[in-house]
Structure 1
Amino acid sequence: MPYMYILACADGSYYVGRTWDAERRVAEHNAGIGAKYTKRRRPVQIVHAEWFERIDEAYAAEKQVPGWGRRKRQLLIEGRADDLPGSGSRSWAARQRRDGQPPPVS
């Protein structure tokens, strides 16, 4: 199932991506495989993973989140989607209430 994920990098920055397998992708980032951005900022740690039913939804979220300010991203990471400012908060809160739970991502 597709995920949008946020990584905390060693330099304090965040990286947003999407994948079908979050655990494998985080391991790849830490091995230096894939994104040039994280290769220079290892180790990385997953701080948020959100499951989507379709990959295009994960892609849309991946493109939306980097445009947010750090405070707004931090609210998402903390699981406080209802506190997100602006019109986007309703859609993120609705995703959190979706039926069915994805497998845990460590």
Structure 2
Amino acid sequence: MYYVYIVECKDGTLYTGCTPDIEKRLKMHNTGKGCKYTRARYPVVIKYLEKVETRSKALQREYFIKQLSREDKLAILNSK
């Protein structure tokens, strides 16, 4: 099982990622040990979480979400 997630950074920007262990990944983001983007923008708050069966499908979904405009990402957040 994998998770596709969207977090809101302290500066209000959104970051999308995927991981097999969401708790571990959020801890990494919130201690400055996550990806380069969130290192300078933590703490982050999870806004969206989606379970996906395989790593391949998770990466495809992550890519799809990353291509969306901010407005479309906010629509995803508001739909859940």
Q: Considering the TM-score relative to the shorter chain, is it more than 0.5?
A: yes
| Superposition misfits of 4+ residues, deviation over 4 angstroms | none
Q: Which residue of 1 aligns with 2:68?
A: 68
Rounded Cα–Cα distance in structure 2 between residues aligned with 1:20 and 1:45: 18
| TM-score (structure 2 length as normaliser) | 0.93
Is the aligned partner of 1:6 residue 2:17?
no
* 1:51-73 per-position Cα deviation (integer Å, ceiling 9, x unaligned): 00111111001111111111110
Unaligned regions of 5+ residues in structure 1, if any? 81-106
TM-score (norm 1): 0.71
Cα displacement (A) at 1:20: 0.3
State the match for 1:96 in structure 2.
Answer: none
Counterpart secondary structure, 1:41 = coil
Find the residue that maps to 1:78 and give its secondary structure.
helix
Q: Matched residues, percent identical?
A: 36
Mind listing any 5+ residue stretches in structure 2 that lack a counterpart?
Answer: none
- Cα distance, 1:34 vs structure 2: 2.6
Partner of 1:103: none
The 5 Å alignment of 1:7-86 reads 7-79=7-79
Task: Please give the alpha-carbon distance, in whole angstroms, between the structure 2 residues aligned to 1:70 and 1:34.
Answer: 21
Q: Which has the higher contact order (CA 8 A, sep 6+)?
A: 2
Larger Rg computed on CA atoms: 1
The structure with more strand, counted as a fraction of residues = 2
Q: Distance in 1 between matches of 2:36 and 2:43?
A: 13
